[in-house]
Structure 1
Amino acid sequence: MEVSTAIRNRRSVRNFKSDSVRKEDLRKILNAGRWAPSSGNTQPLELVVVKDPKVKKRLASAALGQSFVAEAPISIVVCANVPRTKRRYGERGSQLYVIQDTAAAAQNIHLMAYALGYATCWVGAFDEEKVADVIEAPEEVRPLVIIPMGKPAKIPREPPRRDLEDIVHENIF
């Protein structure tokens, strides 16, 4: 699949079939996240793959009751090991770069999952402390994105987008 096809056609899906995610596909998807760029190659990425129904239910509760987090066959919690980047870049690294780095990894995960026939949704609305507790994250590891994933039961229509001419500015805003 062309990258441009994945970028254009991927949707945020909240309805999943009960089909499991093939082990070899999951490995490709996780590797796509691992190969994302990171500031100074500090690689703050940590991934927690949640399959256990009880843990997924607790995760959904921490995600402000978004039940589809528990209904997906798996949910991937994308985390940042903050000290890895902070050591090199100080506060800017811990407050900004780790977020950018994990966002790049999450995007790669979404695109690879789509290319392999899976659906995902970017979940950023959650209680960070509760999610950290659910996944038993060490104190220095910060959960930043939850990605429920599975075969789509229902695919939403293409959402409206602003015209390119409305968002691109040359030289100055």
Structure 2
Amino acid sequence: MTKDVFAAIAERRSVRRFSGEAVADATITRILEAALQAPSAGNLQPWKFYVVKKEESKKALGEAAWQQEFIASAPVVIVVSALPELVAAHYGPRGRDLYVIQDTAAAIMNLLLAAHAVGLGSCWVGAFLEKEVRRIIGAGEDELPVAIIPLGYAAEESAKPARRSLNDCVVILD
């Protein structure tokens, strides 16, 4: 099952309750392949994706995310980590401080939309203790954890959150 991109954008929700049903490795691979298609400055692709299935590691990630225990209930958790120095080598401080975040954010959004397109729920978690997440996943000091993404089949349908109107956030300069 795949969805039109506009439908996927409109329908995707943050999911914090998962059914517990396992996610096939082929499905995870497909989602990660979509993440890899994201644009990046200079096509440097400055990211790493840690696929976490071990129960104690998922629990530790939930604790590192200020007790967001729902993280551990997902069958799979993907931690997206950035490689700031790779981008800094090409673009200096702006690459290290901005481009690498933009690049990984684009990959994360592709991942979230791909997960939705194949019928999975997900949630972008950005509130966590960086050093603790780095330790849990075994990332190097040269990596910057950017997001924790729990993935799984939703246990319930999430309500559509309110959105600002187009008139409130678009400025047209003629």
- Fold-level match, TM-score > 0.5? yes
1:8-47 to 2 correspondence within 5 Å? 8-47=10-49
Q: What TM-score do the two structures reach when normalised by structure 2?
A: 0.97
Structure 1 residue 84: deviation in Å? 1.3
Q: Residue 97 of structure 1 corresponds to which residue in structure 2?
A: 99
Q: What TM-score do the two structures reach when normalised by structure 1?
A: 0.97
Inter-partner Cα distance in structure 2 for 1:149 and 1:170: 38
Identity %: 46
Structure 2: stretches of 5+ with no match in the other structure: none
User: Which letter does structure 2 place at the counterpart of 1:143?
Assistant: P
Q: Residue 54 of structure 1 corresponds to which residue in structure 2?
A: 56
Q: Deviations over 1:7-55 (max 9, x none)?
A: 0000001000111111111111001111100011111010000000011
- Pairwise CA RMSD: 0.9
Structure 1: stretches of 5+ with no match in the other structure: none
User: Which letter does structure 2 place at the counterpart of 1:88?
Assistant: H
Q: Residue 148 of structure 1 corresponds to which residue in structure 2?
A: 150
Structure 1 residue 162: deviation in Å? 1.0
Q: Residue 74 of structure 2 corresponds to which residue in structure 1?
A: 72
Q: Match of 1:169, SS?
A: coil
Structure 1 residue 125: deviation in Å? 0.5
4+ aligned runs moved over 2 Å, structure 1:
none
Q: Residue 164 of structure 1 corresponds to which residue in structure 2?
A: 166
User: Which letter does structure 1 place at the counterpart of 2:147?
Assistant: V
Structure 1 residue 171: deviation in Å? 1.4
Residue of 137, 140, 147 corresponding to 1:138: 140
Q: Residue 109 of structure 2 corresponds to which residue in structure 1?
A: 107
- 8 Å CA contact retained: 1:43, 1:84: no
- Paired residues, number: 172
Q: Match of 1:143, SS?
A: strand
User: Which letter does structure 1 place at the counterpart of 2:112?
Assistant: H
Q: Deviations over 1:104-143 (max 9, x none)?
A: 0000000000000000001001011110111110111110
Inter-partner Cα distance in structure 2 for 1:25 and 1:169: 40
Inter-partner Cα distance in structure 2 for 1:121 and 1:43: 22
Inter-partner Cα distance in structure 1 for 2:41 and 2:168: 30
- 8 Å CA contact retained: 1:29, 1:109: yes
